[in-house]
Chain A
Amino acid sequence: MGKAFQFYPEAASSFAGQIDNLYFFLVALTTVMTLGIVAVALFFFVKYRRRSDDECPEEIEGNIMFEITWSVIPLVVCLGIFFWGTNIYMGMVQAPPDSVPVYVVAKQWMWKLQHPNGRSEINELHVPLGQNTRIIMASEDVLHSFYVPAFRTKMDVVPGKYTSLWFRPTKIGTYRLFCAEYCGTSHAGMNGWVHVLSEADYAAWLSGNVANESMEEAGERLFTENKCNTCHAATGNTQLGPSLNGVYGKSVTLKNGRTVTVDDAYIRESIFQPLAKVVAGFNPVMPTYETQLNEQQIMQIISYIKTLKPVDGQEGGHE
């Protein structure tokens, strides 16, 4: 927005610096290697130009030492770059446990974002400076990709599953949010802004508008509206289906003997495809809610289930 011409994108997340270091190392390597090879080639080109038509240079057989040198050195350099990058990447895939979630639903051609307290936004994201923020994403239609260049982070949004990314903003400011995976006619229009605010500004922004119900409240309402509670106890004992108190984050044994951890993806799957992974001791009777609930509502229900505390002497679902 009216910014001057620049060669270097803003760096505003905790891993932007690390990635840029490697990036600039690679730029230097590319420049030095390319100029080096071209310089040598041009030097030979001029120095050994044909001076007479009957010239016949002496044969030079290959040289095994040269071959080994220019195979091994690139290999070692490549492996070094591989380990360097993989090391940074390992820090990027696992969100720290204290991350605050923001739920994102992508659809042609907009971003719908919802904070745990219920505040929702479209194509705008407000986050406080220095807070570990985890973006949990689902798509209502096709592939999209959540991309904030200033944070050096990006992740595809894949219909049919949850994907996520996390970041810690390190600089107050307003940054571009793009959809990076081609998604149809208005793909270029599927973008917005990320606002990194100071602690105080963020609090003011949060309290600015709390007319909505929180995600948990919405989830609780959906839970009763859709009659989930006829089979799944939220606070009491096991009924027709596994009770859900304290179930989030636990692992449960399935009918086929395997175990699965109750996380966002498993809950989502159990609502959309209930028969895929049935908990041991229960009958496969639950119908799918694919047509009744959308991705955003599922996220609200998950937020609600997360709040359900274990009841004494009773661990829901854990048979």
Chain B
Amino acid sequence: MSNDTSSPKVNYLNNDYSIKSWLLTVDHKRIAILYLIAISFFFLVGGLMAVLFRFELATPQGDLVSAETYNKLFTMHGMVMVFFFLIPSVPAVLGNFLLPLMIGAKDVAFPRLNLASWYIYMLGGTLTIFAAISGGIDTGWTFYTPYSSTYANTAVVTAGIAVFITGFSSILTGLNFLVTIHKLRAPGLTWSRLPLFVWAHYATSIIMLLGTPVLAITVALLAVERGLGFGIFDPNLGGDPVLFQHLFWFYSHPAVYIMILPSMGVISEIVAAFCRKRVFGYTFVAASSLAIAVIGFFVWGHHLFLSSQSVFAGMVFSFLSYIVAVPSAIKVFNWTATMFRGSISWETPMLYVLGFIGLFSIGGLTGLFLANLAVDVHLHDTYFVVAHFHYVMVGGVIMGYMGGLHYYWPKITGRMYNEFWAKISFLLIFVGFNLTFLPQFVLGQLGMPRRYYFYDAEWQTLNVLSSAGASVLGIGYLLPVIYFLYSLKNGKIASQNPWGAKGLEWEVADTPPDPHNFHEIPVVTEEAYAYAKEAH
């Protein structure tokens, strides 16, 4: 714990500058950086597509692009954002970087496997880009059969293989994290002393490991039907199209928790550090992650209320969907309670906590509409659904991801970002986001179906608002790219622990960390977030 910054210490960034040392690195911190670069690229690609089709939707008639192009744009947007940004974002970047640091380990359990995950992800990503330019894909990211298996004339098999491959990067990351958390905790770091970020990643890894193989099987079956003509989903070949929906959502609903749980972990860390307090109800916040991981596997049928699934099944899935809402509510209440009588510092990461609480509340509560058998009949497949899941995914996942990126930026780079521009960016993202998606709730209730290339003229006002919001949102996202890159050379040198936060990653490991994380194995003697104990 030295604050000596006069002579640059050896750290994971400056110990070797060669390209080879990056591309063949087995250091979890460098792999996190590799992921950060790749994920930012895919986010940019997915975002540009959204901007394009939001421009198209500014007028009721189709004019800017053709119907085929429009369909390919929203498909690629969904596919890129879900599989190449939202799912890996927090775990692969922040999780990779922080898990070993937080638990006092030198690296993850299988460092080579960790690097392999990144290469697998890149292979899947490259194939996706290849699919996009070699004909595109127009099935929607949900790949519903028999359209995808028989009728679509686009690069379905290529895109399917891309998703199949990328899934393995997720499986390997999950496996790596599980073993790391079980086996590599520092002496004294008992389960009840783990930071909530670690708990969240533990729960996430279970879902990754159990759920992702089902996705792989599903797209493999789709490819087999499309390529070889085996009847699995197409009724003309003796298959069942609804079977595909069951298999697809068996993974893709829990996948929502793969995205949101790690982000919730970040929020727990930030709220503790910026309130200088132990997270209120630590046990409940940790246990709710596990509850979400388990119950989350039994609610997939809420996507199938109108699919001709049986009425009884619909009732069971509706019921369980309401149960799974409770642990998320518990988390929100506990974070808010943590602020009570805290010492709250107003930097950007804390703003993202507030953003998360507000937007995720709307995302979660509008889920109650869609989990409802009667109300879902009206709202299913309308813009209401689009708005709802963007509030969960952008309002939840991206708020946590951005908050975490700001919070850990000094740890990762050794530099401070510009606080002023970061606040401006947060404001633009928050306002732009609400302007984009609040009107979509109204559009959905008015009956505008999703994935429509043109629409009734009376819906134009709301669509224009939404498109305007998307432009503001786009600028909000571009700002961090600029000020983060600028900070790498010109940012203020970060002190060892700029936020005065607790935790091995801030208190023991150097900033930026040593290539081997710790000079000697730390011994943990207190619970997580023991802010009060130190001062008195």
In the bound assembly, the distance between CA atoms of A66 and B336 in angstroms comes to: 12
Residues of A within 8 A of B368 (CB): 26, 29-30, 78, 81
Q: Does residue A182 face the partner (Cβ distance < 8 Å to B)? A: yes
A94 smallest CB distance to B (angstroms): 9
Q: Are B147 and A154 in contact (CB under 8 A)?
A: no
A180 — which chain B residues lie within 8 A by C-beta? 380-382, 449
The one of B138, B281, B454 that contacts A184, using a Cβ cutoff of 8 Å? B138
User: Given the complex of chains A and B, what is the CA–CA distance between A201 and B322 in angstroms?
Assistant: 46
B362-A19 in contact (CB<8A): no
With a cutoff of 8 Å between Cβ atoms, the chain A residues found around residue B377 in the complex are 19, 89, 92, 152-154
- Taking A18-B374, A50-B343 as contacts, is the C-beta distance between A57 and B449 under 8 angstroms? no
B326 at the interface (CB under 8 A from A): yes
* Residue B235, interface by CB 8 Å: yes
Q: How far is the CA of A164 from the CA of B531 in the complex (A)?
A: 61
Contacts of B62 in A (CB 8 A): 188
B378 at interface, CB cutoff 8 A: yes
B213 part of interface (Cβ distance < 8 Å)? no
- B362 and A70: CB pair below 8 A? no
**Count of interface residues, chain A, beta-carbon cutoff 8 Å:** 90
8 Å CB contacts to B: which residues of A142-163? 142-143, 145, 147, 149-150, 152-156, 158-161, 163
Smallest beta-carbon distance A66→chain B, Å: 7
A25-59 to B contact mask, C-beta < 8 Å, 1/0: 01001100110011011101100111100111111
Interface of A (DSSP majority class): mixed
CA distance A58 to B530 in the complex (A): 11
B535 close to A (CB within 8 Å): yes
Interface size in chain B (residues, C-beta < 8 A): 96
**Docked-complex contact B330 and A70, CB < 8 angstroms:** yes
A81 to B147, CA, bound (A): 35
A200 at the interface (CB under 8 A from B): no
Q: Quick one: which of B311, B330, B336 contacts A67, CB cutoff 8 A? A: B330
In the complex, the chain A residue whose C-beta lies closest to that of B235 is A160
B354 is an interface residue with CB less than 8 A from chain A: yes
Report yes or no: A59 in contact with B532, Cβ–Cβ below 8 A: yes
Interface contact A185-B68, CB-CB below 8 Å: yes
The answer to whether A26 and B375 touch across the interface, beta carbons within 8 angstroms, is: yes
Task: Flag if B333 contacts A70 (CB, 8 Å).
Answer: yes
The answer to whether B344 and A22 have CB atoms under 8 Å apart is no
Is B67 a contact of A147 with CB atoms below 8 Å?
no
Residues in B whose Cβ lies below 8 Å from that of A40: 336
B461 within 8 A of A: yes
A83 CB to nearest chain B CB (Å) = 9
Determine whether the beta carbon of A62 is less than 8 Å from that of B71. no
A34, A153, A184, A189: which contacts B152 (Cβ < 8 A)?
Answer: A184
Residues A152 and B235 in contact in the complex (CB < 8 Å), given A30-B365, A145-B306, A161-B308: no
The 8 A CB mask of B479-500 against A (1 = contact, 0 = none) is 0000000000000000000000
Do the beta carbons of A9 and B373 come within 8 Å of each other? no
Interface flag for A258 (CB, 8 Å): no
Residue B319 at the chain A interface, CB threshold 8 Å: yes
* Distance of A158 Cα from B211 Cα, bound (Å): 26
Stretch at the interface among B5-13, B79-87, B103-111, B439-447: B439-447
Contact check, A143 vs B339: say whether CB atoms are below 8 A apart. Answer: no
B185 CB within 8 Å of chain A? no
- B514 at the binding interface (Cβ < 8 Å): no
> Which residues of chain A are near B147, meaning CB under 8 Å?
142-143, 182-184
A239: Cβ under 8 A from any B Cβ: no
Cα A152 to Cα B379 in complex, Å, equals: 8
Q: Which residues of B contact A159 (CB under 8 A)?
A: 146, 234-236, 241
Given A9-B447, A48-B341, A56-B532, A160:B378 Cβ within 8 A:
no
Residues of A within 8 A of B350 (CB): 45
B307 and A158 within 8 A (CB): yes
Shortest distance between the CB of B222 and any CB in chain A (Å) = 14
A313 to chain B, nearest CB (A): 38
Q: How far is the CB of A91 from chain B (nearest CB, A)?
A: 9
Question: Is there a chain A Cβ closer than 8 Å to B278's Cβ?
Answer: yes
Interface residues of B (CB under 8 A from A): 62, 67-68, 71, 138-140, 144, 146-147, 150-152, 234-236, 240-242, 275-278, 280-284, 306-308, 311, 314-315, 318-319, 322-323, 325-326, 329-330, 332-334, 336-337, 339-346, 350, 354, 357-358, 361-362, 365-366, 368-369, 371-375, 377-378, 380-382, 442, 445-447, 449-458, 461, 531-536
Q: Apart from A59-B532, A66-B337, A108-B151, what are 19 other A-B pairs with CB-CB below 8 Å?
A: A2-B458, A18-B374, A22-B372, A23-B445, A34-B365, A41-B358, A44-B344, A45-B339, A49-B345, A50-B343, A57-B343, A142-B147, A149-B446, A150-B447, A159-B236, A176-B447, A176-B456, A180-B449, A185-B68
Pairs across A and B, CB under 8 Å, 5 listed: A67-B330, A82-B322, A86-B318, A88-B373, A184-B138
